[in-house]
Amino acid sequence: MKTVFGFGERVAGFEVPVLNEREVRAAAGILFFFALVSFMNAWLMGNFRLTQIFVIAFLIDFTIRIFVNPRFSPSMILGRFAVRKQAPEWTGAPQKRFAWAVGFALAVVMFYLIVINNVIGPINLFVCVVCLTLMFFESAFGICLACKAYNAFSDNRARHCPGGVCGVEARHDSQKLGLAHALVVALFVGAVGFIGVRGFPSAEAVAAPSQPAAGTASADECTPPDWAVAMGHAEKWKLHHNCN
């Protein structure tokens, strides 16, 4: 029977505890989805209830990961279920624990600010963006940004990194990028931007027919709430409420 408390799996051939990178990425993707939904709900609608709930859930999840065992983390369980038919890809557990400690610290900060004190402002936005960025890179690219700082704070260098990036290996020709690739991406972005600007009417033109008659909205109705002003969201709030 496996012990309840622990961090990482002991697998033959690996000198350090390891975690299944496929489960880790799946769990990061699950958390990223709910984090993005709660963030956009707060940013666009001014409803921070979902954000408060997510922060509490995130903090509980990471507390279990770090102080109990990743095997019992709810998001890791769901991730394990999602990739249960895929072959494990083992990655070093020590650097993951460091990275998750960073996530735990951010969760504690958000819990103190938005759950306990109901603080709404730029600092919340910054922490949310950092969390979303870390989870997006982990789930989308398999790149653990916080893991990259592990070597700077530990005497033992990270081992068994996803994709073998810890080792020094020559890239295959198919992996190399050049000027032609950069040019393709630049032309693609430029073409999409041109289509977006020239191919469709502006948001103001689309909204114009539905605008209320002049003078129908009172000054009080078009006064942004404090939370919108604190987030620098005042102008967008006015746009959503048809205030010029």
Report d(CA 12, CA 79) in Å as an integer.
23
Report d(CA 141, CA 127) in Å as an integer.
21
Residue 143 has pLDDT above 70, yes or no: yes
Two tokens at 128?
């949310």
Q: Tell me the mean pLDDT in the region 20-41.
A: 94
Question: Other CB atoms closer than 10 Å to residue 34's CB: what's the count?
Answer: 16
* Global pTM value: 0.74
Percentage of the chain exceeding pLDDT 90: 43
* Type of residue numbered 91: T
Q: Tell me the mean pLDDT in the region 172-201.
A: 86
Helix, coil or strand: residue 101: helix
Please give the pLDDT value at position 137.
92
Between the alpha carbon of residue 95 and those of residues 69, 101, 188, 202, 242, the distances in Å are: 15, 10, 37, 47, 49
Two tokens at 234?
């005042």
CB burial of 2-24 (b: ≥16 within 10 Å; e: otherwise) equals eeeeebbbeeeebebbbbbbbbb
Most confident of 38-42, 63-67, 150-154, 199-203: 63-67
